[in-house]
Amino acid sequence: MVILAVDYGDVRTGIAVCDKLAVLASPVTVIHERNAERLAARVTQIAQEKHAEKIVLGLPKNMDGTEGFRAESCRAFGVLLSETAKLPVDFQDERLTTVSAHQMLNVTDTRGKKRKEIVDAVSAVLILEDYLRKMKN
């Protein structure tokens, strides 16, 4: 099953996808869009291009596991995205994925503008990898 992962952000939204066997997660792109409807339309277009059967949306939880304002915004976007894409949307806890993405980019010595452009796509890959691990267990 091809799954598209979304690291939803106010300014940049990272996109990743897995292969049909749900083994390998790869970055796709980072979308620069603030308007939720236009963002949902762009994510839907990518989902169709990649033949995705499901979308996984990173859910920003607080460190204590509670959900705050940002999680509410993400859940609202998930409803919009599900209606726009006509695909099921699951949520995956994304705590510390951005921190992990920055650590990975430190290892590869990715700096400056290039780092800013890809960190959200790397975060989406980490969200998708966590989701795939959860599915297998």
Could you read off the pLDDT of 52-92 as tens digits, one per residue? 999 999 998 877 878 888 899 999 999 999 999 999 999 99
- 3-136 is classed CATH 3.30.420.40: no
CB 40 within 8 A of CB 48: no
**Six token digits for residue 29:** 């792109």
> pLDDT value at position 31?
96
Element (H, E) at 25: strand 25-32
Other beta carbons within 10 Å of 23: 9
Q: What is the pLDDT of residues 9-28, one digit of tens each?
A: 888 999 999 999 999 999 99
Q: Are 4 and 50 in contact (CB under 8 A)?
A: yes
Q: Look at residue 122 in the predicted model and tell me its pLDDT.
A: 80
- Cα-based angle 84, 26, 99 (whole degrees, multiple of 5): 95
- How far apart are the C-alpha atoms of 123 and 23, rounded to whole Å? 17
